Amino acid sequence: MQYLETLNPQQLAAVKQTEGPVMVIAGAGSGKTRVLTYRIAYLIENGVDPFNILALTFTNKAAREMKSRIAEIIGNSEAKNLSMGTFHSVFSRILRHHSDKIGYPTNFTIYDTQDSRSLIKTIVKELKLDDKAYKPNLVHGRISSAKNNLISAAAYEANSDIVYEDRMSGKPRLFEIYKQYEKRCFNAGAMDFDDLLFKTNVLLRDHPDVLHFYQHRFKYILVDEYQDTNYSQYLIVKKLADVFNNICVVGDDAQSIYSFRGANIENILNFKNDYPENKVFKLEQNYRSTQTIVNAANSVIANNKDQIKKTVWTSNDTGNKIKVIRTLTDGEEGRIIAESIYETRINNQAENKDFAILYRTNAQSRSFEESLRKLNIPYKIYGGLSFYQRKEIKDLLAYFRLTANPKDEEALKRIINYPKRGIGKTTIDKLIVLADKFNVSIWDVIENPSEYPSGLNGGTLNKIGQFVTSIKSYQVLLEKNDAYDVAQHIAKNSGILKELYDDKSPEGVSRYENIQALLAGIKEFSESVEGDEIALLSDFMVDVALLTDADTDNDEDNDVVTLMTIHASKGLEFPYVFIVGLEENLFPSQMALNSRTELEEERRLFYVALTRAERKATLSFAMSRYRWGNLVTSEPSRFIEEIDSDHLEMAAASASKGRSLKQKSFENRAFGKPKKQPLFTNKNLKRVSAEDKVKSGKAASSLNLKVGNNVMHEKFGKGKVVGLEGDPAIKATVFFPKVGNKQLLLKFARLELID
DNA sequence: CTTGCAATGACTGAT
DNA sequence: TCATTGCAAG
C-alpha cells in the first residue's frame, strides 16, 4: 500500500477511518480527490467487494477519472464493479431497472431543460394563461425547486404557504401548471432531471424490498461535493446508509455554489446532528496554489458570515501577485487577455492547456473567442450549447427517442413535421387537446385514429398515417439490430440526412457534419460492445440526456485554452487562470444583490474561481460592455476590493509595448474614476506592439496576397483568397472548403502561399 | 400549410 | 446581438 505514503496525516486518517459516518471538510486544493480515490482503493484492498461500494461524484468525468485511477491501483477487473457516477446517472440506471414498479416504461425518456420548458410553454398556452406572467423558465424553476424538496403537484396545491406565495407574485394558477406538467410527463413516459431524484425517493419509499436490497448492496457510500446536494439527494443517501451507517461525505462549505439548483448548504452543516457518532477530518493544507493565491482567497471569503471555521494554508512559494487589468470595453478585455496568454506562453514555456478563462455568464465567451482566434490560439468552450443540445442533433435524437418510447410528447412534437410533411401547427394543437382529453399520449391518438376521432380532413390523416407507419417500421428494427445500422437507417429514411445535405450554406454544412459526428459516435459505441452481443440504440440513448461537454472530451488535441463559466470549473485546476468581467451587476450578478445569502454565494463563487489557479491569477474588468447590443458602463466588482491589497498588482490595459509593457501601475485602488484616458485607445501603437509578437518572417502581410491566391492555414487547411481590405492589405477574406469564408487579419493569420 | 419579414425579448448558473 | 414569435400573403 505504497500509495498511502503520499498522504499527510489528516488525509491518511480520513482514508483509514473506513467504518461509521465520516465527514471530510476539504479546503480548496487540499487533495480531496486523492483522499476519495485512496479511500476506495483502501476499502477494496481490505476485502470490501467493489460491488458493495457506491460513490457519487459531481460530474461523470470526475467519476471516470477516479475509476481509472483506482483501476491502476487495484486492477481493472475489480474497479469495474464499482457503482460510480453522478446522482442522476446512477439513479437513472436503478430507476430503469425498477421502472415497472412506479408505472414507467423501461425505455422512459429523460427530458432535458429544453424539453421541460417547451412542455411548460405548451401547457401555459393550453390553459390560456398570460405568458408574460408565466414565463417558462420561472415556472420551471418553481416546479424544479418543489421537486427538489420532494413536494409533488398535489402537495404543492395543498400547501397554503406556497399557494399564497404564488398568488402574491401574480401567479395564482401555478399549481395547475405543475399538476398538468406532472401528468403530461407521466403520460409521455418521461422524467425530467429532477424526477430522476424525486422518483428514486418514491421508489425507495413505496417499495421496502427495493430499499432493503440497495441498503444491503451499498455497504459503503461516498458522496463528493456534499455541500452541493439538495434535499432530494440528501434523503436518498440518508435512506441508503441507514443500515450500515458507513457513509463518508466530502465537501467544503466555502465552495457551495449551486443553491439555484436547490443545493442546501445545511446538509453539510447538519451532518453532525444526522450522524451523532460521526468523525470529522479537516484538510487545510493547500497543495495547489501559491501563497498569494491562497491568502487572497482567504481574505475574500472572510467577508462571509456563514461558514465552518477552518484555516487553509500552503507551504508553496509566495508566487506572483494577482494582476488586475482594467480595460475600456469588453472587446479590449478579450484582446488584452489573448495577448497576455500569447506572451505568457512564450515567456514561461507554457502550453495552451495551462490557461483558463473563467467568466460568470456564458454570454461573455464571445470577445475571448474572437481575440483568441485572431492570435491563432486554439481554445475550447465548455458549457453553453453543448453538442447534444444543438437543434440538428436533438432532431435526430428525437427520432430515436420516439422510436424507443412512442409516448414521448416532446420528441413527437419536434419531428412530426420535420422534415416538412404538411402537418401544421393547427393540426398538432388539435392532437394535443384530444390526447389530453382522453388522458393518453399523442401517439395513442395518431396510432388509432378511429378510436379518437379528430375531425381532421382525409389528406392530413393520410400524412399522419404515413408518419406513424415509418416510426413503426423503425421500432421493428430497434431491438434486433445493431445501433449504428438502425441509426443510419433512420437518419436516411426520415429524410433528415437529405434535408441537411441539400443545405449548402455554411451553417447547413456544419449541421450535416454534426449529424455525421453523432452517427460516428454511435458507431464507436456499437463497436465498443464486447463479444457477440448486439449494441442496441436504446442503450446508447440511455444517458445521452445526461451527457455534458466535459463528458465528450477526447484526449486528442487537447492542448487548448479552456473557456468556461466558474460553475463549470469546479474541481478543476490550471496554472494560469483569468477571471474576467469582474464588474458590479455582472459578478456579483445583479440578481444576487437583494439578499446577503445570495451575495455570499457569489462570493463563494469568486473564491472557487480564485482557487482554481496554481501559479498565477489575473482579474479583469471592462469599464463598458455590450449587453443586448448596446453599450453599458460598469463599475469594478466589490470583490476586487475585498482582496487584501498586498496581493494585488493594478494595471490598466496598455496599448503600447514600447511605452510600458509592464503596464502602468497604480499605487492604490485608483480605478473607477480615471481623470482622463491616455494611451489606452491608441490603435496604431497597439498594432505595432501586436505585430512584434508574431514571428515577423511568418507574417502574411509580407506575402503580397492577391485575390485568387491559394493559401494554407494552420488550422483551416487550404483556402482561396476571395477578398482583401486595406492598402497594403491588412485583412483578407479567405474561403476554406472545410469551414467556409473566414475573415483573417494578415498580421496574425500565418498564411502560406501555395501557388 | 408554408414562407418571409418585422417585432420582440433574452443574460445567471447546469445535472 | 441573436434567436424565436407573430402576422400577412401566397
What does the DSSP 8-state code read for residue A533?
Answer: P
Å from the A424 CA to the C10 C1': 16
The region, left, alpha or beta by phi > 0 then psi within -120 to 50, assigned to residue A28 is: beta
A679 pLDDT band, cuts 50/70/90, is very low
- Tell which wins on pLDDT, A512 or A222: A222
Q: Over the stretch A626-646, which tens digit does the pLDDT of each residue have?
A: 888 788 899 999 999 999 889
Looking at residue A658, what is its pLDDT? 31
A224 is catalytic: yes
Nucleotide nearest to A629 (CA to C1'): C1
pTM: 0.83
Going by C-beta distance under 8 Å and a sequence separation of 6 or more, which residues neighbour residue A533?
none
Nucleotide nearest to A427 (CA to C1'): B1
Q: Over the stretch A496-518, which tens digit does the pLDDT of each residue have?
A: 998 888 877 777 888 888 899 89
Looking at residue A738, what is its pLDDT? 57
Å from the A117 CA to the C4 C1': 14
Distances (CA, A) of A44 to A40, A73, A578: 6, 10, 40
A122 is catalytic: no
Q: Is the CB of A626 under 7 A from strand C?
A: yes
A664 pLDDT band, cuts 50/70/90, is very low
Instruction: Say which of A39, A171, A612, A616 is annotated catalytic.
Output: A612
A387 pLDDT band, cuts 50/70/90, is confident
The neighbouring-strand residues paired with A127 are none
For A25, other C-beta atoms within 10 Å of its C-beta total 25
Looking at residue A729, what is its pLDDT? 61
Nucleotide nearest to A628 (CA to C1'): C1
- Tell which wins on pLDDT, A588 or A504: A588
Single-letter amino acid code for the residue at A394 = K
Instruction: Say which of A10, A11, A32, A611 is annotated catalytic.
Output: A32
Between residue 372 and residue 411 of chain A, the positions with Cβ below 7 Å from nucleic chain C are: 391
Residue A728 pLDDT > 80: no
Looking at residue A160, what is its pLDDT? 93
Single-letter amino acid code for the residue at A425 = K
Å from the A244 CA to the B6 C1': 65
Nucleotide nearest to A366 (CA to C1'): C1
Q: Over the stretch A64-83, which tens digit does the pLDDT of each residue have?
A: 999 999 999 988 888 999 99
How many percent of chain A have pLDDT more than 70?
87
For strands A630-633 and A613-627, give the pairing: antiparallel
A612 is catalytic: yes
A741 pLDDT band, cuts 50/70/90, is low
User: Which residue lies nearest B12, CA-to-C1' measured?
Assistant: A361
Looking at residue A639, what is its pLDDT? 95
Q: Which nucleotides of B are covered by protein (CB under 7 A)?
A: 1-3, 9-15
Residue A262 pLDDT > 90: no
Q: Over the stretch A612-631, which tens digit does the pLDDT of each residue have?
A: 999 999 999 999 998 887 88
The arithmetic mean of pLDDT across residues A688-706, rounded, is 39
The region, left, alpha or beta by phi > 0 then psi within -120 to 50, assigned to residue A370 is: alpha
- Number of residues written out for chain A: 755
Residue A1 pLDDT > 80: no
Least confident of A362-376, A400-414, A545-559: A545-559
Beta-strand runs (E) in A79-237: 83-86, 109-111, 190-192, 220-223
Å from the A384 CA to the C3 C1': 14
- C-alpha cell belonging to residue A360: 460568470
Å from the A135 CA to the C4 C1': 14
Looking at residue A675, what is its pLDDT? 30
The arithmetic mean of pLDDT across residues A335-349, rounded, is 94
For chain A, give me the number of helices (H) and strands (E)? 32, 21
Query: CA dihedral defined by A75, A78, A83, A86, rounded to 10 degrees?
Result: 10
Q: How far apart are CA A465 and CA A444, in angstroms?
A: 12
Looking at residue A745, what is its pLDDT? 57
A686 is catalytic: no
End-to-end CA distance of chain A: 63
